[in-house]
Structure 1
């Protein structure tokens, strides 16, 4: 790709300016101190890219060119008009009811809200139909706002009711009136400047770029200003990690891969959950491919690790010497429950690997010493964005809602990220959702005993 080919990719809002010579990875700081830095590698081509954000401007550096984007001035009037036009088209029972409940909550009583409802030019019949709808949904009519129902099925009314109903079949004039009220009262705030950073990261991910740990020109980890004073302590926490990513091509039965049919010798049993049902197959990693150079010193350089998981259990199998003979293997796969197959069986994809190193998540208790009592919300957010998410072999787990081990007797073995924007997408926007982390004790790992590995599922 030539430098000028960035123009259609990034849009007219970007300004292009010369940067480093072609092929050189530009590590130049932006004019203001960097608040966030993301670095990317395209494993297939070796191309590198750098995204930086100083709180206002997003800069993408690749192939010797820099594209800078600053958000345009916010036009609140235009945004309100856009919202009004959208609501005029979509005004329906959910929006009518939601707005009425907001009105009741703001004015403190149903009667005061009804008077305001009528003063604004909305019909009494619409108010009455909303009352009827609430009763049919089994909700009481009190001064306290009700919870918005989960379903607004038109099956609650008959075809005759719908025909003359302002709630279920609002006329054009009512739609226009309600849209104007909604757009005038809704709180519109400008989008954050960091939206540009997020949009550019998605573009890179869709081009097959893998997000890696951000580094300074000397190869050491780049840190946010809030963490920089703790560099010495953090250096002791840095761990090697191998980042798996999906590649093109058809993997052999004994190759590393996501999903599909696992390596299984004829006569070997399929792993079962606590109820005796087959466990879905998530991924397998050939250590001769993932760790050939010994980047992960506590893992063997050969053998095959396999990961099976569901809400009802997990198993990790280790084959020290996988047989590379199709005739000695079976491709039989047990039938799974539909929800398990959809949730825990990713599409089969070959797997490649990039060695890296990383720090714990900013939410990990190991970083407690780096948190100050006066830490700003922004500093906490920046620290959280320091470390790439995504699939990983060893390293530290991603943290969303579940536990994050602080003790050294619990370590991450493998993490599968089913909704990753860091360069390993399943589907156009992530697909599976959630992550599965497989944890092991160091003693068990030293003995190559994977029988006690357990999985933590988050957001599945």
Structure 2
């Protein structure tokens, strides 16, 4: 069992919290240019074989690349792929491609997996002049990327990603939290103006990640699903101000985005039924 540094005020709950600890991959972002087509990134241009149609909405509008994960660069997590490139695309609108009625409907978003990426650039699309960049007319609130007025983005700007294997207990906003930890912990978390709560979230819950437990600003949408097999966290992209005064990642009003998948689908590398959700305060 991985031992973690819990706030001392949570001593009475440590045994229950430790029983929920599991690994995840922490993601750090770095605003860069000229990141290769194969590299993991947020935004930018994708790995795209020449014989593969770029994803569009049913109306024919191009989706934009939200995230690309090259699993050859990622510390291995059980069940998750150890190779291949996984991509997440969104439609450009005020809901970021989200369908409230059917969050698995891949018309406003798309998840694409290439199990055996081609290393020969001659076989890839390298000219994306046909594609409007995510930075064009970007202050309209139709993407989670906000470009500061003082910054002039380059078409090749994107967020390069670094990965680290980490461990964390169940998040306080996971729908199973009370069932596994109990309700008495809330009084402790809310003491001192929620300082302990903030410390717990900052250390174990918030941020970009692959796998692990989720972060929400509102409620866990899985609680309302009548599914025999639960969804597990595939990818979380949080609001991120690390590139302040250049490009800021923000979901609505400092929200967070999650993509979910059933374990059986993940084992089969079937990303056709991924559940997409984002919320904000």
TM-score range, shorter chain: 0.7 to 0.9
Paired residue for 1:322, among 117, 132, 153?
Answer: 117
The equivalent of 1:357 in structure 2 is: 167
Counterparts of residues 254-273 of structure 1 (less than 5 Å) = 254-273=38-57
Q: Please give the alpha-carbon distance, in whole angstroms, between the structure 2 residues aligned to 1:419 and 1:389.
A: 10
The alignment partner of 1:343 has SS state of: coil
Paired residue for 1:233, among 16, 22, 25?
Answer: 16
Normalised by the length of structure 1, the TM-score is 0.46
Change (3 A) 1:283 1:241: same
Counterparts of residues 310-349 of structure 1 (less than 5 Å) = 310=91, 311-312=96-97, 313-331=108-126, 332=128, 333-335=130-132, 338=137, 343-344=143-144, 347-349=157-159
Q: Tell me whether 1:405 sits opposite 2:222 in the alignment.
A: yes
Q: Which has the larger radius of gyration?
A: 1
Alpha-carbon displacement from aligned partner over 1:71-121 (angstroms, at most 9, x marks no partner): xxxxxxxxxxxxxxxxxxxxxxxxxxxxxxxxxxxxxxxxxxxxxxxxxxx
Change (3 A) 1:345 1:324: farther
Alpha-carbon displacement from aligned partner over 1:135-191 (angstroms, at most 9, x marks no partner): xxxxxxxxxxxxxxxxxxxxxxxxxxxxxxxxxxxxxxxxxxxxxxxxxxxxxxxxx
Stretch of structure 1 that moved more, 264-273 or 440-449? 264-273
| TM superposition shift of 1:359 | 2.0
| TM superposition shift of 1:415 | 1.1
Q: Please give the alpha-carbon distance, in whole angstroms, between the structure 2 residues aligned to 1:361 and 1:373.
A: 13
The equivalent of 2:154 in structure 1 is: none
| TM superposition shift of 1:399 | 1.2
Counterparts of residues 380-419 of structure 1 (less than 5 Å) = 381-386=195-200, 387-405=204-222, 409-419=230-240
Between Structure 1 and Structure 2, the one with more strand by share is 2
The alignment partner of 2:164 has SS state of: strand
The equivalent of 2:27 in structure 1 is: 244
The alignment partner of 2:17 has SS state of: helix
Alpha-carbon displacement from aligned partner over 1:399-444 (angstroms, at most 9, x marks no partner): 1124353586111101112335xxxx13348723123211111111
Q: Tell me whether 1:223 sits opposite 2:35 in the alignment.
A: no
Between Structure 1 and Structure 2, the one with more helix by share is 1
Q: Tell me whether 1:302 sits opposite 2:83 in the alignment.
A: yes
Given that 1:308 and 1:316 are in contact with CA atoms closer than 8 Å, whether structure 2 keeps it comes out as yes
Alpha-carbon displacement from aligned partner over 1:118-137 (angstroms, at most 9, x marks no partner): xxxxxxxxxxxxxxxxxxxx
Q: Please give the alpha-carbon distance, in whole angstroms, between the structure 1 residues aligned to 2:247 and 2:239.
A: 6
Paired residue for 1:378, among 191, 194, 200?
Answer: 191
The alignment partner of 1:231 has SS state of: helix
Q: Please give the alpha-carbon distance, in whole angstroms, between the structure 1 residues aligned to 2:58 and 2:10.
A: 43
The alignment partner of 1:385 has SS state of: helix
Given that 2:25 and 2:210 are in contact with CA atoms closer than 8 Å, whether structure 1 keeps it comes out as yes
Given that 2:33 and 2:158 are in contact with CA atoms closer than 8 Å, whether structure 1 keeps it comes out as no
Change (3 A) 1:307 1:338: same
Q: Please give the alpha-carbon distance, in whole angstroms, between the structure 2 residues aligned to 1:343 and 1:282.
A: 9
Given that 1:343 and 1:432 are in contact with CA atoms closer than 8 Å, whether structure 2 keeps it comes out as no
Q: Please give the alpha-carbon distance, in whole angstroms, between the structure 2 residues aligned to 1:385 and 1:220.
A: 17
The number of residue pairs the alignment matches comes to 236
Stretch of structure 1 that moved more, 233-242 or 390-399? 233-242
Given that 1:304 and 1:318 are in contact with CA atoms closer than 8 Å, whether structure 2 keeps it comes out as yes
Change (3 A) 1:398 1:263: same
Query: Structure 1: 5+ residue runs without aligned partners?
Result: 1-217
Q: Please give the alpha-carbon distance, in whole angstroms, between the structure 2 residues aligned to 1:373 and 1:299.
A: 32
Given that 1:287 and 1:302 are in contact with CA atoms closer than 8 Å, whether structure 2 keeps it comes out as yes
Change (3 A) 1:300 1:257: same
| TM superposition shift of 1:343 | 1.9
Normalised by the length of structure 2, the TM-score is 0.73
Alpha-carbon displacement from aligned partner over 1:23-47 (angstroms, at most 9, x marks no partner): xxxxxxxxxxxxxxxxxxxxxxxxx
Query: Structure 2: 5+ residue runs without aligned partners?
Result: 98-107, 147-156
Q: Please give the alpha-carbon distance, in whole angstroms, between the structure 2 residues aligned to 1:412 and 1:405.
A: 11
Counterparts of residues 157-168 of structure 1 (less than 5 Å) = none
